[in-house]
Structure 1
């Protein structure tokens, strides 16, 4: 196995025992990127010389002073400030802009010893569904999803073991599914958003991509994600209870997702779990509408400054936010805020009865074309409810492309969810019918 194919956990083991240096690891990743960049185009900015400079600095650190992520490479979504690299938001307004500071999340990663590879592509301000240049590594005629397009594609194509994303609607979970990798959206407000362009204060959440749950556990350790009651390290599917929840979005599900949810539930039953299909109470039915209202009304102040200085360079959808083109009243805005807030403890109560809720990640496999990044409708409700979510790979659609399924837990049960995801992921990846490949 080439070094670039290692998961973060596998790379860390070799970096710790001295069988691999950070520089050797970095050069392997850079060679992989050079081989595949013309096809996938996951990067908004990458400077190989700077990557090697970081790698040499990390190799020079004495073993006893090395951090918990020593040498692990990370792709950073290009809405997060990174010193020594531009942060451009895929916007002509910020082309070539280089803030001279790191976002709080990047400071934490650097302190842990991570190797910052470069800036991965995003849709404009991580807001719209018009795709960036990035292609799906499993079929370059299709979208990798968005808005965290580059991070997900880079991880799915073995160009990085860890990718940073964000989610306001479905910008972590959807691309995770489309690229056949693990995606993790923690409980809202678990990780500082200081130093990134925030779309919505009550929706935006930093998320992560990886090719293993062990890697997500590494990241959770670094960002000190903790439950009140630590979960057992070895979660057993046998004897556990899961809910299957199609949600009010189910009429939009395509054949790949319909088949995946059925297969996922069957696999859990086959491995000894009790699986119960449930429905949300009617009071949840307006969640998609309320999420949309929050998104549009929070976008009004968020993009006002760009609107003032460069309206002609701003995406029409963002102009509409500022101008309140949809004519959302303040009363409707308050209703959306308050109704969503009232439902959060109720979903916690429902989810607490199960090891996790199994639910769709996406409408279907990645749609054809790269002009748009696909629909986030299955993700938005969980973003609004602030619950932690993982997307688990293992299934495929009618064209053989990956389709993930999501697991949901109550708020601030992130470590519990990751332990459940580890056990579920082992089954889905082994028996779900889709296998990850290394493309050349």
Structure 2
């Protein structure tokens, strides 16, 4: 096994025990990128010399017995809508070509302070909102999308180019790429992780999350963010109460999405979980439309600066969003925000003695063909508007040989409990955790 194939948690243990150097891990990741970047195209900025320099510095600190952070030496890919002090943040937009803010976003500062090595900036849909798509391709078939808008981060972690990566989610931009790239992803509860220094299009929806290759990787990063409640007793699948939620948008599901949800439910039930259908109350039928309205309205204000300063190069779909703001109906907006508030309280109240977690699709199916699309966020938007934690887990391969994942969902601010539940459930749901490595390195 090459070092780049290691999970972040396994690599961290080897580095801590002096069985693997940071430079060895970094060189392995860079070699993987060099061999695959022409196809996968995950990166917008990468400086191999700088990465090696940083790796050697981290190895010197370890050799001098300096305290090592939990992420010491682990490579991190940063979605290029998140600021980095020493690398450009372009938002995949010609408006910001070469722009370097000179300051780390809060999330980058936290992982850097925990010892992470920021390997580079990953490709993204323009502003993580519209306009240009990323050039990134799906590691399992370059004719298919890796999802988006966190396209490059999902592809880079899925292709073993970097062990960890940051994404963001406004609709389904983080969890859907996890499904398409056969990786694990955590979208925390809204506001639990600071969004300072990350480009925002919706104050109500935008959330910073991270990718890894197992739940232990997600936990490792969560501990650095001091997510409350971590470190509780380990959970067992047996006796867990799992609600299978097809959600009000079930009519958008595809055969591969059905197969993944059914496989996950059957595997959990076979392992002793109490699996029952969860039908959301009728009020939730309006949540998908409410999310779209809120995202459009808040995005119109968020992109007004670019609309005014760069009208000749702002993407047409974002320009149209800004111009549509004058026509928004105030009554409909108030109703959308009110519905979201009511449904959040209703959803949180479902959990307790009769429900531990919700099992629901992470995407309609497998990754669509073509790079003109990043797939449909329809099975993510409701949960994003509910502002609840979502954790993506790989599940099956589709008839086309592409990964399809599912997601576990919990109530707001129960992120630690959801991680504990996922650690118990993932070995059951992700029945073939090594198949991706065998496929990609064959």
Same fold (TM over 0.5): yes
TM-score (structure 2 length as normaliser):
0.96
**CA distance in structure 2 between the aligned counterparts of 1:435 and 1:402, rounded to whole angstroms:** 9
Offset of residue 327 of structure 1: 3.0
389-398 or 402-411: bigger deviation: 389-398
Determine the structure 2 residue equivalent to 1:368: 369
Residues 1:411 and 2:412 aligned together:
yes
Determine the structure 1 residue equivalent to 2:314: 314
Offset of residue 432 of structure 1: 9.2
Instruction: Judge conservation of contact 2:264–2:395 (CA < 8 Å) in 1.
Output: no
Instruction: Judge conservation of contact 1:47–1:118 (CA < 8 Å) in 2.
Output: yes
**Cα distance change, pair 72–231 in 1 and its aligned pair in 2 (3 A):** closer
**CA distance in structure 2 between the aligned counterparts of 1:326 and 1:276, rounded to whole angstroms:** 45
The superposition leaves residues 200-243 of structure 1 with CA deviations (integer Å, 9 ceiling, x where unpaired) of: 1110000111101001000100001113xx57432111122110
Residues 1:294 and 2:294 aligned together:
yes
**CA distance in structure 2 between the aligned counterparts of 1:211 and 1:432, rounded to whole angstroms:** 9
Offset of residue 430 of structure 1: 2.0
Instruction: Judge conservation of contact 2:73–2:116 (CA < 8 Å) in 1.
Output: yes
Determine the structure 1 residue equivalent to 2:142: 140
Determine the structure 1 residue equivalent to 2:19: 19
* Counterpart among 95, 99, 102 of residue 100 in structure 1: 102
Instruction: Judge conservation of contact 1:158–1:438 (CA < 8 Å) in 2.
Output: no
The superposition leaves residues 227-268 of structure 1 with CA deviations (integer Å, 9 ceiling, x where unpaired) of: 3xx574321111221100000111110000111111111111
Determine the structure 1 residue equivalent to 2:335: 335
SS in 2 for 1:88: coil
Long gaps (5+) in structure 2: none
**Cα distance change, pair 351–435 in 1 and its aligned pair in 2 (3 A):** farther
Determine the structure 1 residue equivalent to 2:186: 184
Offset of residue 289 of structure 1: 0.6
Offset of residue 326 of structure 1: 9.0
Residues 1:163 and 2:178 aligned together:
no
Offset of residue 435 of structure 1: 4.8
**CA distance in structure 2 between the aligned counterparts of 1:106 and 1:115, rounded to whole angstroms:** 10
**CA distance in structure 1 between the aligned counterparts of 2:98 and 2:438, rounded to whole angstroms:** 35
Q: Which runs of 4+ in 1 moved over 3 A?
A: 230-233, 431-438
Instruction: Judge conservation of contact 2:131–2:317 (CA < 8 Å) in 1.
Output: no
Matches within 5 A, 1:213-362: 213-227=215-229, 232-324=232-324, 327-352=327-352, 353-362=354-363
Instruction: Judge conservation of contact 1:264–1:432 (CA < 8 Å) in 2.
Output: no
TM-score (structure 1 length as normaliser):
0.97
**CA distance in structure 2 between the aligned counterparts of 1:129 and 1:244, rounded to whole angstroms:** 35
SS in 2 for 1:378: coil
Offset of residue 439 of structure 1: 2.2
395-404 or 204-213: bigger deviation: 395-404
**CA distance in structure 1 between the aligned counterparts of 2:104 and 2:260, rounded to whole angstroms:** 40
SS in 2 for 1:351: coil
Offset of residue 131 of structure 1: 2.6
SS in 1 for 2:264: helix
Offset of residue 64 of structure 1: 3.7
Residues 1:60 and 2:83 aligned together:
no
SS in 2 for 1:334: helix
Long gaps (5+) in structure 1: none
Determine the structure 1 residue equivalent to 2:206: 204
Determine the structure 2 residue equivalent to 1:382: 383
SS in 1 for 2:322: helix
Q: How many aligned positions are there?
A: 438
**CA distance in structure 2 between the aligned counterparts of 1:170 and 1:253, rounded to whole angstroms:** 15
280-289 or 330-339: bigger deviation: 330-339
**CA distance in structure 1 between the aligned counterparts of 2:13 and 2:228, rounded to whole angstroms:** 24
Instruction: Judge conservation of contact 2:92–2:132 (CA < 8 Å) in 1.
Output: no
**CA distance in structure 2 between the aligned counterparts of 1:431 and 1:21, rounded to whole angstroms:** 29
**CA distance in structure 2 between the aligned counterparts of 1:133 and 1:113, rounded to whole angstroms:** 30
**CA distance in structure 2 between the aligned counterparts of 1:434 and 1:332, rounded to whole angstroms:** 47
**CA distance in structure 2 between the aligned counterparts of 1:255 and 1:339, rounded to whole angstroms:** 31
* Counterpart among 83, 105, 113 of residue 81 in structure 1: 83
**CA distance in structure 2 between the aligned counterparts of 1:63 and 1:139, rounded to whole angstroms:** 44
